[in-house]
């Protein structure tokens, strides 16, 4: 272990009790020294990204670090409810009435479903292969096929899901239907809040409370 000529701090806890002047929540990391003195760090979004990326690189290089690497990746995976809502948004992303009916548990007509080619395009634009559709399947269950593909990508890397969401809500896809785009963002944000994430109006995903992509305490 590297020896430094300054005092070492020890991790104590993570809290979300802090707030910025504008009222947004702040994630704070509390440290404690050997004398019991506490110190608080409010990390920037970029710093958190770098910290996680470095942890992954270290475990990839460490002999026998595979288990720890898998634990790191599992911590970042999106939950089942998030993937379910995303799959249903993808299934009806071409129809405002289809999206609304889906989440109001209404009956969706066949013309309110997206075409398979339109669904596949979202995956391809994000850089992934499309869902594997069985030879025979019910249209009402197609969202489950989409969800299964999302689960596979989620297990590989949670960033894949972020890529797909940002493709789904990109402004270029809704030139004549901003209302549909806003509805999809609203529906996805209902579950993303439990992941401590949100989609901004610009279509990018960030931690809740982040002012911009640059940091959480700019």
- Range(s) of the domain holding residue 36: 10-76
Mean pLDDT of the chain: 81
The verdict on residue 3 lying in a domain is: no
The verdict on residue 114 lying in a domain is: yes
Co-location of 189 and 90 in the same domain: yes
Co-location of 63 and 86 in the same domain: no
The verdict on residue 218 lying in a domain is: no
* pLDDT at 22 (0 to 100): 66
Does the pTM exceed 0.75? no
Last residue of a domain, one of 21, 54, 76: 76
Last residue of a domain, one of 52, 76, 100: 76
Co-location of 61 and 98 in the same domain: no
Last residue of a domain, one of 23, 54, 76: 76
In the chain, how many domains are there?
A: 2
The verdict on residue 141 lying in a domain is: yes
Co-location of 150 and 47 in the same domain: no
Query: Residue 7 in contact with residue 33, Cβ under 8 Å?
Result: yes
Co-location of 174 and 86 in the same domain: yes
Banded pLDDT at 85 (limits 50, 70, 90): very high
Co-location of 192 and 151 in the same domain: yes
The verdict on residue 212 lying in a domain is: no
Co-location of 167 and 154 in the same domain: yes
Whose structure tokens read 């979004």?
A: 45
Q: Where are the alpha helices (DSSP H) in the chain?
A: 45-61, 66-76, 80-91, 96-103, 116-125, 142-156, 158-168, 178-192
Co-location of 112 and 178 in the same domain: yes
Co-location of 104 and 187 in the same domain: yes
* pLDDT at 135 (0 to 100): 80
- Check residues 77 and 31 and name the one with the higher pLDDT: 31
Three-state DSSP class for residue 146 = helix
* pLDDT at 212 (0 to 100): 46
């Amino acid at each position: 272990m590297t020896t430094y000529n300054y005092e070492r701090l020890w991790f104590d806890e993570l809290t979300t009790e802090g707030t910025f002047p504008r009222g947004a929540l702040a994630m704070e990391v509390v440290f404690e020294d050997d004398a019991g003195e506490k110190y608080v760090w409010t990390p920037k979004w970029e710093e958190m990204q770098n910290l996680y990326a470095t942890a992954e690189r270290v475990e990839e290089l460490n002999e026998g670090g595979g288990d720890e690497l898998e634990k790191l990746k599992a911590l970042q995976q999106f939950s089942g409810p998030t993937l379910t809502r995303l799959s249903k948004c993808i299934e009806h992303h071409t129809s405002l009435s289809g999206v609304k009916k889906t989440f109001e548990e209404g009956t969706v007509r066949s013309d309110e479903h997206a075409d398979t080619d339109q669904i596949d395009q979202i995956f391809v634009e994000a850089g992934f292969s499309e869902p594997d559709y069985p030879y025979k399947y019910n249209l009402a269950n197609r969202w489950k096929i989409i969800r299964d593909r999302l689960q596979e990508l989620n297990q590989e890397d949670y960033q894949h899901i972020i890529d797909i969401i940002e493709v789904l809500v990109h402004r270029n896809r809704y030139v004549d239907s901003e209302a549909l785009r806003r509805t999809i963002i609203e529906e996805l944000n209902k579950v993303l809040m439990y992941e401590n994430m949100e989609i901004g109006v610009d279509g990018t995903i960030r931690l809740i409370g982040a002012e911009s992509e640059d940091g959480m305490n700019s």
